[in-house]
Amino acid sequence: MKALEGKVAVVTGGAGGIGTAICEALAESGAAVVVGYNRSKTQAESLAARLPQASLPHAALAAPVTDTAQIEALAVEIDQRYGRCDILVNCAGTTRFVAHENLAGLDDALIDTILTTNVRGAFAMLRALHPLMQRTGNALVINISSIAAATAMGSNVMYCASKAALDNLTKSLARALAPDIRVVSLSPGLVDTEFVKQIDQAWRDEQAAQTPLKRLAEPKEIGQAAVAIATSFPFTTGTIFSVDGGRPLK
């Protein structure tokens, strides 16, 4: 029997670069995966269809994290389909490159989008799924954060602040929801997703050079870390797990 057989995992941003790798890793470990999507319905449906079969069926369901009514409806649907939710991975996130010294370039609309998606969205997903996860018992939330939370190096200053806020939520919610629900952050350094591959090669080489392990993370390494957290750390909550090649050491 696989380690996550019989468990139900909900992954927001499930069809994105890192989300896809997390969905694949969870399904390979036996979990039924709900691939949550916002705009990427087609990709989410095709991912759910090609994931390795688990004892419970996978699904692709709308999970627009800034729309509370829709995610409350999603929680009802998950309850009706599965009657349980063991793992929530808050992977949905958004950003745009704005140089840190360019204050005028970070307008209110972009700030609101970043904070509403990266911080309120993660909280709202847990708020919606909380009764179901509490009923399931021994449930786990993995917030996909970033080393930007601690290093304040990232695509823009509000993105860094949003991930710091997410890590803070991880700690206060870990305390508040114990012992039924554990809450952790998983903080990647730069991950070589399709989006990152499109960025200037010289910049990516520079980032790799400044990483002690001399490369960027592969998306599947974040998926593997999520499975490790879900299977091998039953006495851990409120922790920030880094998967960053040692980048903050430089």
89 binds ligand NAP (CB under 6 A): no
What is the nearest approach in angstroms of ligand NAP to the Cβ of residue 57?
A: 20
Look up residue 132 and give its amino acid: L
Is 82 labeled as catalytic in the residue annotation?
no
DSSP 212-248: TTSSPBPHHHHHHHHHHHHHH-TT--S-EEEESTTGG
DSSP H or E segment with residue 11: strand 8-11
What is the nearest approach in angstroms of ligand NAP to the Cβ of residue 14?
A: 7
Between the two ends of the chain, the Cα-to-Cα distance in Å is: 42
Residue 15-34 contact track with ligand NAP, rule CB under 6 A, x = bound: xxxxx---------------
Look up residue 122 and give its amino acid: A
What is the nearest approach in angstroms of ligand NAP to the Cβ of residue 44?
A: 7
What is the nearest approach in angstroms of ligand NAP to the Cβ of residue 203?
A: 12
Calculate the alpha carbon distances from 10 to 7, 155, 196 in Å: 10, 27, 25
| Pair 37, 15: CB distance under 8 Å | yes
Interface residue with ligand NAP, options 2, 45, 56, 66 (CB under 6 A): 66
136-139 contact pairs (CB < 8 A, 24+): 136/84, 136/85, 136/86, 137/180, 138/86, 138/180, 139/85, 139/86, 139/87, 139/88, 139/180, 139/181, 139/182
What is the nearest approach in angstroms of ligand NAP to the Cβ of residue 235?
A: 26
When the beta carbons of 117 and 237 are compared against ligand NAP, the nearer one is 117
Residue 37-56 contact track with ligand NAP, rule CB under 6 A, x = bound: xxxx----------------
Q: In the block, which residue shows the tokens 């969205």?
A: 121
Q: Which of 125, 159, 216, 219 is catalytic?
A: 159
Residue 100-139 contact track with ligand NAP, rule CB under 6 A, x = bound: -----------------x---x------------------
224 binds ligand NAP (CB under 6 A): no
User: Nearest 5°: phi and psi at 191?
Assistant: -110, 135
63 binds ligand NAP (CB under 6 A): yes
Binding stretches for ligand NAP (CB under 6 A): 12-13, 15-19, 37-40, 63-66, 91-94, 117, 121, 144, 146, 188, 190-191, 193, 195-196
Q: Which residues are catalytic?
A: 159
